[in-house]
Amino acid sequence: MYLSLLECQLKYISGYEIATKIFGSIHGILWLIFLYILYQARKDFRLENSFVLKMLLFSVIPFGLIPMEKLINGKINKKEKGELANA
C-alpha cells in the first residue's frame, strides 16, 4: 500500500513515469518472497492446505493483511493453549 502511495506521488506529482515500473517490480519481488516463505512454513510446520490457501487468497485481495493477521494469531493462541494444557 505504501509503495503505491509513493509511486503515485512520484508519477503524477513529480512526473517520473518510470516510478510505476520500479515500484511494481519491488512489489512483485516482495510477493514472490512471501510465496517462498509461505511454502517453507508449510513444509517446516506441516500447515494444513486450507490454511495455506487462505493465506494465498488474503495476499491477493486488498487489505487482506487484516484477516490474515487474525487467522495467524488465532492459530498461535490455539497452539499456546494446547501446550499449556499438556504441561
pLDDT digits (tens, 9 = 90+) for 31-76: 999 999 999 999 998 999 999 999 999 999 989 999 999 999 998 8
Is the same domain home to 55 and 38? no
Is the same domain home to 62 and 76? yes
At 87, is the pLDDT very low, low, confident or very high (cuts 50, 70, 90)?
very low
Neighbours of 23 (CB within 10 A): 19
Backbone angles phi, psi at 61, to 5 degrees: -80, 150
Alpha helices in the chain (DSSP H): 2-8, 19-45, 49-60, 65-86
- Taking the model in full, what pTM does it have? 0.75
Is the same domain home to 67 and 78? yes
Is the same domain home to 33 and 73? no
Domain that holds residue 6: 1-46
Is the same domain home to 2 and 26? yes
Q: Which of 61, 15, 56 lies closest to 37, judged by CA?
A: 56
Is the same domain home to 4 and 36? yes
Is the same domain home to 35 and 63? no
Is the same domain home to 18 and 30? yes
Q: Which residues, including other chains, have CB under 8 Å from residue 52's CB and lie 6 or more apart? A: 38, 42
